[in-house]
């Protein structure tokens, strides 16, 4: 059996999802505090910085209990992919998406007011 992997989603497709009539996904941002200070995602997110996983790891099942699709975000899409893989290992029933090329792609393709770094 092949391992589960997060579905890729492009920045413009995520923007459309957030603007259409479908229920919004749960957005999880794994970047560090300093990165959020530089470039915040322009929607509500759960902030799970990977370097402080000990602070949020135990609460993951409760925070994802509503069954909404999850979109994981980072700077370039690599750290979010890793968290997405881990989420699917722990909770294979989840619908997990990875924002391809991360907040940088969001800045380039959707909202240039979000600074690039």
Per-residue model confidence (pLDDT) at position 3: 78
Each residue's pLDDT tens digit, 64-116: 999 999 999 999 999 999 999 999 999 999 999 999 999 999 999 999 999 99
**Stated pTM of the model:** 0.95
Rounded Cα distance, 99 and 81, in Å: 8
Each residue's pLDDT tens digit, 10-55: 999 999 999 999 999 999 999 999 999 999 999 999 999 999 999 9
| Residue 17, CA distances (Å) to 1, 20, 26, 85 in order | 30, 5, 11, 22
Per-residue model confidence (pLDDT) at position 80: 98
């Amino acid at each position: 059996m092949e391992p589960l992997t997060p579905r890729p989603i492009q920045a413009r497709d995520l923007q459309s999802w957030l603007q259409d009539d479908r229920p919004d996904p749960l957005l999880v941002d794994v970047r560090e505090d300093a990165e959020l200070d530089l470039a915040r995602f322009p929607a509500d997110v759960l902030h799970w910085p990977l370097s402080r996983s000990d602070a949020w790891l135990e609460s993951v099942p409760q925070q994802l209990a509503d069954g909404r699709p999850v979109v994981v975000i980072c700077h370039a899409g690599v750290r979010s992919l890793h968290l997405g893989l881990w989420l699917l290992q722990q909770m294979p029933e989840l619908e997990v998406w990875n924002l391809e090329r991360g907040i940088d792609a969001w800045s380039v393709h959707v909202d240039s007011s979000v600074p690039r770094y």
